[in-house]
Amino acid sequence: MSTHRLECPDTLNQETGGELLRAVHKLHLSGGDELLFDLSGTESMDSPGGGRVLEIADVVRARGAALRIEGQQGSVAGFLDIIQPALRAPGPARPRRSGFLNTFTDKSYLYGREFREFAELCVDALYWTLLAPFEGRGFRWNLFIDEIHEMGVRAVRIVCLMNFLLGLIIAMLSSAQVANFGLSIYVADLIMIGFARELAAIMTAVVVSARTGAAIAAELATMKVQEEIDALRGMGLNVAQFLVAPRLAALLVVLPCLVALGLISGLLGGTAWGVTMLGFYPQVWWAETLNAAHLRDFIQGFLKTFVFAVMIALIGCHNGLRVEGGSRGVGLMTTRAVVMDIFMMICVDIVFAAIFYYALA
């Protein structure tokens, strides 16, 4: 048990403190020893100097020794008072990393719980959208109309543009192959069948998901962060009725309309290629296009849109309401909503394709 003495110079700052720290590292301190820190000659001290004192205290503590500070006066004494709380407190606890099995079961539980919350939201939202208004239980018509304008009317231009360009590109790509066999006119059939069954629905749904799905998620997430959801529930109002149902209803109305416009735009895109580059007469192209139109294809394409509408609205609301962590969380949940939307679309598409191919062929 020995006492070591360390004299501090008249100024304790980053540099002089650094030298003292190096001196402490070189000392042979062991358990039970004491380091006496003599500040009687010190006249001034600043925050980095105080930081150095803390570092010295850490080293001393790590070696099992004790630190005693003596001789402080004037402003230095006051400064030491300021760093007392930090000197006394131990460092922050390091988070412990859990093993694989723990992480796996934790995550499984969390996913299971999330799925259950999503299912509950689905049932609630579908009730308040499709059944409650007819039971006279209240529906926010004003928000419904506003959302139809925002989700539908304001999306028309981009939906039509995207579908037109897609029609053009597909006509361009396929005609290059088919021209070898002199079958260019069948590109019109391809465009009609492709857009009616799949492409109009998918392309439009992707655009709407990026626009509307993200907007719903971001808006609800921000409301959650700003305690607006708590305020709503505290007033006894139902979140599904107040926030989700008007948006879901609007999307159910708007998405099929947008898909119809998208379909027409896609056909126009294909026609633009067929008439200008392939040299067909417009009447001929249109006749072939309409010839390829079958009710079954339209049904397949449009039934999907209702499922897409429900999913986009619910996934957006679900993710928005689950936000945690402030502004960063809003960004994360918005991204998550759009990614889930796109993944969902592919899955639904596969299911419909399977049903129509196998069951109804």
Partner 1 sequence: MESLAAENRKSPIIAVRDLVTHYGQTKVLDNISLSVPRGVVQVIIGGSGCGKTTLLKHLCGLLKPSQGEILFDGKNVAAMDEDELAVMQRGIGIAFQSSGLFNSMTVGDNVALPLHEYTRMDERLIQAVVRIKLGLVGLSGSQNLMPSELSGGMRKRAGLARAIALDPPLVYFDEPSAGLDPIIASGLDELILDLNKLLGITFVIVTHELDSIRKIADRIMMLDRGKAIFCGTMDEAGTSEVERVRQFFERRPDEYMAQRTI
Query: Which positions lie near partner 1, rule CB under 8 A?
Result: 14, 18, 46-48, 50-52, 54-55, 58, 75, 78-79, 81-93, 95, 324-329
> Cβ closer to partner 1: 95 or 236?
95
To partner 1, the closest distance from the beta carbon of 62 in angstroms equals: 13
CA–CA distance from 45 to each of 8, 41, 84, 191 (Å)? 11, 11, 14, 79
To partner 1, the closest distance from the beta carbon of 222 in angstroms equals: 13
To partner 1, the closest distance from the beta carbon of 11 in angstroms equals: 15
3-state SS, one letter per residue, for the chain: CCEEEEECCCEECHHHHHHHHHHHHHCCCCCCCEEEEECCCCCEECHHHHHHHHHHHHHHHHCCCEEEEECCCHHHHHHHHHHHHHHHCCCCCCCCCCCHHHHHHHHHHHHHHHHHHHHHHHHHHHHHHHHHHHHCCCCCHHHHHHHHHHHHHHHHHHHHHHHHHHHHHHHHHHHHHHHHHCCCCHHHHHHHHHHHHHHHHHHHHHHHHHHHHHHHHHHHHHHHHCCHHHHHHHCCCCHHHHHHHHHHHHHHHHHHHHHHHHHHHHHHHHHHHHHHCCCCCHHHHHHHHHHCCCHHHHHHHHHHHHHHHHHHHHHHHHHHHCCCCCHHHHHHHHHHHHHHHHHHHHHHHHHHHHHHHHHCC
To partner 1, the closest distance from the beta carbon of 230 in angstroms equals: 14
> Cβ closer to partner 1: 83 or 126?
83
> Cβ closer to partner 1: 49 or 274?
49
To partner 1, the closest distance from the beta carbon of 7 in angstroms equals: 21
The one-letter code for the residue type at 200 is A
To partner 1, the closest distance from the beta carbon of 155 in angstroms equals: 31
> Cβ closer to partner 1: 87 or 292?
87
> Cβ closer to partner 1: 44 or 276?
44
To partner 1, the closest distance from the beta carbon of 327 in angstroms equals: 5
> Cβ closer to partner 1: 41 or 78?
78
> Cβ closer to partner 1: 71 or 329?
329
**What is the C-alpha to C-alpha distance for residues 65 and 56, in angstroms, rounded to an integer?**
11
To partner 1, the closest distance from the beta carbon of 231 in angstroms equals: 16
> Cβ closer to partner 1: 75 or 291?
75
